[in-house]
């Protein structure tokens, strides 16, 4: 699950219902967790409720490992110059897990990298 989809749920944004329907059993990289925590703290002043909420949603937090690091590095020339490390961490987890990605990032809609990308809006 991409940070954008989780943030849509947490902030009640458009597409939150679609993202929430995909949350149970979804996998979230620790890199993307950092991105979420930073954005929540910036907006609300605290990120204390994030981990309990992710647990309620049954989202699995997955450590970023060496295999994902290699995949993320290999993705750099394939995903575009505006991608972030967190974007590639999410996509590398999907590749390593052979699972689809749920995202609100419209720039990913046309990526052809061997990952099923499901847009929430």
Domain parsing of the chain, residue ranges: 3-119
For 68-114, write each residue's pLDDT tens digit: 999 999 999 999 777 899 999 999 999 999 999 999 999 898 899 99
Length of the chain: 121
Q: Record the pTM.
A: 0.93
**Which distant-in-sequence residues (6+ apart) come within 8 Å of 116 by Cβ?**
94, 100, 101
We find that the CATH architecture of domain 3-119 is 3-Layer(aba) Sandwich (3.40)
Answer for the pair 115, 27: CB distance below 8 angstroms, yes or no. no
Burial of 56 (0-12, 13-18, 19+ CB in 10 A): exposed
For 5-26, write each residue's pLDDT tens digit: 999 999 999 999 999 999 999 9
């Amino acid at each position: 699950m991409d940070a954008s989809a989780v943030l849509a749920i947490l902030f009640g944004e458009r597409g939150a219902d679609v993202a929430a329907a995909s949350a149970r059993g979804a996998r979230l990289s620790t890199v993307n967790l950092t991105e979420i925590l930073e954005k929540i703290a910036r907006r609300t002043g605290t990120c204390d409720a994030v981990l309990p909420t992710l647990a309620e949603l049954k989202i699995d937090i997955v450590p970023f490992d060496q295999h994902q690091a290699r995949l993320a590095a290999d993705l750099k020339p394939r995903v575009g110059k505006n991608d972030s490390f967190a974007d590639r961490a999410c996509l590398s987890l999907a590749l390593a897990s052979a699972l689809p990605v749920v995202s609100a990032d419209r720039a990913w809609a046309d990526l052809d990298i061997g990952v099923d990308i499901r847009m929430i809006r």
